[in-house]
Structure 1
């Protein structure tokens, strides 16, 4: 029989509550951080920050998307993390529970924009 200690599954998705991520699109990190955070859709399990030339975009994301971007090797810089508001102003340079990826900028930026539009419709 499998038994788990209380708190063994401590991720927000496992607990049935929504992850919170900073969500913004701006030309600088500072301007982006001023736009605040939001509760993510039910199955979003990561927060992402994508930076390119004169562009910063933060949004809810999925670990699978982060892993896919991590396997690419050129273009925009993408960072993923997995806790509430982990892509916010106080965590933006943290090396904690995060994953970094360099991704093909047109594909990643378009996919991220599509994800953001989809999340805004929910």
Structure 2
């Protein structure tokens, strides 16, 4: 059988490109976030990033008086952060190393969801424990 008229390499090439794209999306590589606990943004940025736990789907930055904590987090946790304590602020973002030093003062935009962390000691403790747990991976 010879080549069929009207069918060129276009559809095959398009199918191949779609398959390669789908495979790269389906790889499901873990997110990387900056992780640190420091007294300033500059000091925190020097500590680098790490691979997040399997189901972490957000990076967070928590700032308070004289404290900066960056860690892997979860979209559901970011969505539940209460507006309670104006001295403690939590910012979440959802792309690779998005909570890094170059993003520290970026508010709004399509990749950031900013909210204030509530004054709940249990919630603050959970954030600290999550950060410590991510550091052991």
Shorter-chain TM-score: what band? 0.7 to 0.9
1:89-100 aligned within 5 A: 89-94=101-106, 95-96=108-109, 97-100=111-114
Give yes or no for contact 1:50–1:109 (8 Å, CA) kept in 2.
Answer: no
- 1:32, 1:39 → 2: CA distance? 16
Matched, 1:103 2:113: no
Structure 1 residue ranges, 4+ long, deviating more than 4 angstroms after superposition = 5-8
1:23-34 aligned within 5 A: 23-34=35-46
> TM-score, normalised to structure 2's length?
0.74
Give yes or no for contact 1:21–1:88 (8 Å, CA) kept in 2.
Answer: yes
Alignment gaps of 5+ in structure 1: none
Determine which of 84, 107, 111 is the counterpart of 1:74.
84
Bigger radius of gyration, 1 or 2?
A: 2
Give yes or no for contact 2:33–2:50 (8 Å, CA) kept in 1.
Answer: yes
Determine which of 19, 29, 43 is the counterpart of 2:31.
19
> TM-score, normalised to structure 1's length?
0.82
Q: In angstroms, what is the RMSD of aligned CA positions? A: 2.1
Determine which of 77, 83, 105 is the counterpart of 1:65.
77
Q: Secondary structure at the match of 2:129?
A: helix
- 1:74, 1:98 → 2: CA distance? 20
Alignment gaps of 5+ in structure 2: 1-17
